[in-house]
Structures are given as structure tokens and as C-alpha cells.
Amino acid sequence: MKNKILLYSLVALPLLAAPAFAQRNFGPGPAGVGNRVMGPMIPASSGTTTSVPSFPGEKGKIYNGGPAGMKNLAPTGTPIRAGATTSRINVTGTPAGAGPNSIALQRRSAVANAVQQMLQVADRTGGIGQQIRVIAQNQEQNQTKAENNLTQVQSRNAVVKFLIGPNYGAINSAQKLIQQNQQQIQQLTQLKSQVTSQSDQQQLTQQIGVLEQANQQLSTSLQQASQGFSLFGWLFRLINR
């Protein structure tokens, strides 16, 4: 009890001066500015397919045969099977109106679509099909929880963040979920080699790529939202360990 009283006393001392300082340094903009945003779709002269996510600096190839007027990229060396459905996470540009919420929605949609594709493979695969199903469903659940944690971090008031730092509880929770996702992605990669159908192996390769990109983008956004100076952030970081 005494420790809590001391902590609140320390935080209250700069409370009167903090709003003016935060307004001058942080401005009125929303928390989370600086995160990656989705890039615009690129028009093409012929029809193309959807693709796995592409990050800045990542080499890619153009594949024809999908929706008209779109040009999408897939990682070099990853062929797209005819009729396969993949998801696009584009973070290479800054379209008007794009923000953290729209990025999170696109990530969730991409992961949900990848999970559905993997569940179809699981239905066609005996033996290890159930393992693929469980991991795929866990990926979608973890993604939703981690996105909610990221939203909590990004939405913290600038004055509060200046005083006590970012939401360390939400940060720690999201980091654990991201680590779990990465471990499960490695398990999926191992299970993929046991699938006898070559077309199903290619499908799993594409959807695993979607999960990896979404997980990496989530980790990057979390890191960016966690940055910034705070007076007593070091103390709250110790409390939330």
C-alpha cells in the first residue's frame, strides 16, 4: 500500500506541467502515428492474381490470371497454383485515410482467409490434417487477441504516455502471442513436408507466407507504438514484468 501511495505521488508531481509539454512535443495527433500503412493498389494492363504479402525491398514476381486491373506480387520462388486463393497485405504506400485501424482490419482479413484455405487442406489430408486444423485455428485466435493488444497500445493518450509510458501490460501480452504464432508457423512448415499432395503443399506454402508477413508486420507496429520518452515509464515497466 505504501509503495502504491509513493508511486502515485511521484506521478502526480509533474501533472500540472505535463499537458503543456506534451502538447508542444506530441501535438494533437492520434497515438500510434508512425506505424506502417497500406500501399495503394497498382493498376495493370491485364488481369492478375491476388498474392501473399509484400514488404518494402522484397523481390517479387507478377502472376497473371486473376482479377482484372490489379497487379500483385508474390515472393520470388513461390509459384501460385491455378485457382488458389491468397491474401494481400500491402504496406508499401500511404493512401489517403489509411490508419492503424484499417491496417489491423486488413491483417485480420488476410489471416482469416489464410486460415480458411488451410482448413480446406486439412479436410483433404488424413492423419496430420487435424494438427494443421488446430494450429490454423490458434493462429486466427492469437491474431485477434494480439491486434486488440496493439490497439490498446496505440490508443494510449499522449499525456499519459509521457508520464507513465506505453501500456506495458498490453505490450507484454502481444509479444507472447506473436512468439506463439511464430512457433506454430514453424510447426506448420514441418507438417507441410508430410503432406502427400503437391498442390496442397503449395497451398500451405502460400498461406504460411501470409501468416509470417502478418506476424512480422504486427511485431513492427507494436515496436513502433511502444517508442517514445516518458518520465516514469521505467518504473511501470518494472511493475509489469
Instruction: Answer for the pair 146, 104: CB distance below 8 angstroms, yes or no.
Output: no
Q: Give pLDDT, residue 31.
A: 42
What is residue 27's predicted lDDT score, i.e. its pLDDT?
A: 45
pLDDT attached to residue 236: 82
Query: Could you give the CA distance from residue 187 to residue 184 in angstroms, rounded to a whole number?
Result: 5
CB 149 within 8 A of CB 217: no
pLDDT, position 39:
42
Q: How far is CA 149 from CA 12, 19, 21, 156, 201, in A?
A: 27, 25, 27, 11, 33
pTM beyond cutoff 0.85 = no
Q: Give, as one character, the DSSP assignment of residue 109.
A: H
CB–CB of 18/37 below 8 Å?
Answer: no
What are the pLDDT tens digits along the chain (241 aa)?
545 444 545 555 444 444 444 444 444 444 444 444 344 433 433 443 434 444 444 444 333 333 433 334 334 344 444 444 444 455 433 344 457 778 889 999 999 999 999 999 999 988 899 999 999 999 999 999 999 999 999 999 999 999 999 999 999 999 999 999 999 999 999 999 999 999 999 999 999 999 999 999 999 999 999 999 988 888 888 887 7
